[in-house]
């Protein structure tokens, strides 16, 4: 049986208490902390940037899984690496300098993730085969937490699993205790969950349930 990782998203955390929120997630069994970076351009929402990553890196132990939803990521990935991101994921739709972005992340010694929006087909990844460690499949339109899981994502996850057997597959958006099993059965290795974990009375229980499906 393969190990499933849970990466809680802090997009819906209490930002004034981010340290306590992350420590609570760490204590509750989170494997990684998923940090959603938004620029108000690639997505119609703004969240936080490198200073937050930098402060969190000094205070928590588990890896920071940084999901960049920003235009021209090639201009910023080095700063996110220096701030302490462990895995840096950018959107294939966000730049025409994909190879360059991958190379910068790698040269900083970080893991490379590529993300696809729900309507972006897997075929666009083919030229970059062998160059990324993780594929992040969005199961909602990026920009906001608390949206409904798009069911057709399951077919995309299955297909991705077949095409890229050695790449980690992370799925992000609308994941909860009810649909996690289907997502894992389709081939996901890492489940991102924001509202399902952050709004739960018992975060530890939800994380454990998501992981054991």
Query: From the CB of 169, what's the least distance to Zn ion, in Å?
Result: 14
9 vs 156: CA distance, rounded Å: 22
15 vs 107: CA distance, rounded Å: 31
- By beta carbon distance, the residue nearest Zn ion is 67
Query: From the CB of 32, what's the least distance to ligand DX5, in Å?
Result: 12
Binding mask 8-47 for ligand DX5 (x = CB under 6 A): -x-x----------------------x-x-----------
Residues engaged in binding Zn ion (CB under 5 A): 36, 67, 172
Q: Which of residues 154-173 bind ligand DX5 (CB under 6 A)?
A: 172-173
Structure tokens at 152: 């057709």
Residue showing tokens 């950018």? 90
The reply on whether position 210 binds ligand DX5 by CB under 6 A is no
Cα radius of gyration rounded to whole Å, the chain: 16
- By beta carbon distance, the residue nearest ligand DX5 is 194
Starting at the edge strand found earlier in the chain, the sheet holding 190-193 runs 5-8, 190-193, 168-172, 134-138, 111-116, 87-91, 64-69, 33-38
- Three-class secondary structure of residue 21 per DSSP: helix
Q: Which of residues 188-207 bind ligand DX5 (CB under 6 A)?
A: 192-196
Contacts with ligand DX5 by CB under 6 A lie at 9, 11, 34, 36, 67, 140, 142-143, 145-147, 172-175, 192-196
């Amino acid at each position: 049986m393969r190990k499933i990782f849970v990466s809680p998203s802090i997009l819906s955390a209490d930002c004034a208490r981010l340290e306590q929120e992350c420590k609570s997630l760490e204590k509750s069994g989170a494997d990684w902390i998923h940090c959603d970076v938004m620029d108000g351009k690639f997505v119609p929402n703004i969240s936080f940037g490198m200073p937050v990553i930098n402060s969190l890196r000094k205070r928590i132990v588990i890896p920071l899984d940084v999901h960049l939803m920003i235009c021209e990521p090639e201009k910023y990935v080095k700063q996110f690496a220096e701030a302490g991101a462990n895995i840096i994921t950018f959107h294939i739709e966000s730049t025409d300098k994909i190879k360059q972005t991958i190379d910068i992340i790698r040269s900083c010694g970080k893991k490379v993730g590529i993300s696809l929006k729900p309507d972006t087909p897997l075929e666009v990844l083919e030229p970059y085969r062998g160059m990324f460690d993780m594929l992040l499949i969005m199961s909602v339109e990026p920009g906001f937490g608390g949206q409904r899981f798009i069911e057709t994502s399951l077919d995309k996850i299955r297909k991705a699993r077949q095409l890229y057997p050695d790449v980690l597959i992370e799925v992000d958006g609308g994941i909860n205790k009810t649909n996690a099993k289907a997502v894992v059965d389709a081939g996901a290795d890492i489940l991102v969950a924001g509202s399902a974990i952050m709004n739960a009375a018992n975060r530890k229980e939800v994380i454990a349930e998501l992981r054991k499906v």
